[in-house]
Structure 1
Amino acid sequence: MHHQPENSMDLLPADALKKRSLGLSVSDSPDLERLGLLDNHFRMTLGELARTVIIAGGSLYYGGHLHPEGITTFLIEELHRYGRRDRPLKVCLAWTVHQAMTPEQIKEQKDYLGLFGEIHFLSFDGERISMPTEPTHPNQFTAEEKSRALSGLRSYMTKNTDARILIGGKRKEFEGNMPGIVEEAIFSIEQRQPLYLAGGFGGATLDIVRTLRPDHAEWFPIVNDPDDIDEREKLGLERLQKAVSDTSWNGYENGLNEEENQLLSASYRPSEVAALVGLGLGRLLTANNL
């Protein structure tokens, strides 16, 4: 029997996701304008995802900065609406990020997160540390150091989450060896983790869809502009294909059927994206307790 995504919340009663965590891989998409979408669509989708997971008792892992106008602040505001006070949001900070913060800034952010979230400070290699040391040379990291710290962050998030959703993603002007969302997908594949590829916002996520399920990306034609192609992304997508081949796992074992995954690959509707993720997580729990 085919389930409609709108009914997915029935599969996630309160506490259904207790002790379960969803990793958020979210980054600006270069395709928003071309798709006629606004940044607000992006944030509304995150809000709906947060609602779906938080109401069901789960946790969210997000690796990012703590800028006042950033995604972390937005997620905290969403959590205030749903009343969970057991720190369901885990904000993971790469070494190069927290080393650029003063002790005062860190205290301020901890106070702001309060009962709604906690900060996980990471070492260069992605090990959790209790508190960052006093910054020695903030903002003076080499490109190689930044890349290593970001890889450590992504590895930590993969080890500590049960599934991951990908949305958007830069194709160029990214830090690291490849677009972050591509590397996060690779880590998830290597750990045989379910993936939810929300391709409706374009970006590197849709490039991943096109690599793994070309027919799911036919709705958005490729623009053959050489300036939009970064060789590092090409190499990253090749590495993704190799990881799929090596593990015999492509992330689509996520509780959704082919038709539903295809819908997730094209949808830009916040409620629909969140409902599909909830539907998949609910089925995974029912089938094998995730």
Structure 2
Amino acid sequence: MNRHPHTAVRCTPFLIERMREYAPPSRVFLSVDGEPVGPAEGRGEDPVPESDPETARRSLTGMRRYLMRQVDAHLILGGRRGGFQGTLPGLLEEALLALEADLPVLRRSPSRARAQRP
């Protein structure tokens, strides 16, 4: 896979729509550490919310690590600035993991996003 140098460019609504069109959602079940598992592995009939903060933190980081192995670039659109459950705010952790994986990091211009709101 050919990797690009780390870069930040503006993302347009057109690009976002193309990404949605060419990257349909899929169902993947992950372990706490972000490794794919069978849908019934370690689960009962009903989902149970995770109450242990350390397990929740590890699960979020594991999910993000899994996602970084599935993509060729990382697009930053927006997210929480406080009240997060992971080690870091999701956007920051995802950007750092993408850079560690030598992925280009793309961001949507905040001023452009504000200008398009009704």
- Give 1:137 deviation, angstroms: 7.9
Deviations 1:200-252 (A, max 9, x none): 1xxxxxxxxxxxxxxxxxxxxxxxxxxxxxxxxxxxxxxxxxxxxxxxxxxxx
Per residue, is there more strand in 1 or in 2? 1
Structure 2 SS opposite 1:196: strand
Deviations 1:24-43 (A, max 9, x none): xxxxxxxxxxxxxxxxxxxx
Q: Following the alignment from structure 2 to structure 1, what is the Cα–Cα distance between the partners of residues 105 and 62?
A: 19
Q: Following the alignment from structure 1 to structure 2, what is the Cα–Cα distance between the partners of residues 137 and 51?
A: 32
* Matching residue of 2:17: 51
* Matching residue of 2:112: 267
Q: How does 1:213-232 map to 2 (within 5 A)?
A: none
Matched letter for residue 128 of structure 1: P
How large is the RMSD of aligned CA atoms in angstroms? 2.3
Q: How does 1:1-290 map to 2 (within 5 A)?
A: 45=13, 48-55=14-21, 58-59=22-23, 88-89=24-25, 118-132=26-40, 133-134=43-44, 138-200=48-110, 266-268=111-113
- Give 1:190 deviation, angstroms: 0.1
TM-score under structure 2 length normalisation: 0.73
- Give 1:172 deviation, angstroms: 0.8
Structure 2, unaligned stretches of length 5 or more? Answer: 1-12
Q: Following the alignment from structure 1 to structure 2, what is the Cα–Cα distance between the partners of residues 140 and 190?
A: 28
* Matching residue of 1:22: none
- Give 1:53 deviation, angstroms: 2.5
Structure 1 residue runs of 4+, over 4 Å off? none
Larger Rg, first or second structure (1 or 2): 1
- Give 1:153 deviation, angstroms: 0.3
Q: Following the alignment from structure 1 to structure 2, what is the Cα–Cα distance between the partners of residues 196 and 120?
A: 25
Distance 1:125 1:136, change over 3 A: farther
Percent same amino acid at aligned positions? 28
Per residue, is there more helix in 1 or in 2? 1
TM-score under structure 1 length normalisation: 0.32
Between the two proteins, the alignment pairs up a number of residues equal to 101
Structure 1 SS opposite 2:112: coil
Distance 1:167 1:51, change over 3 A: closer
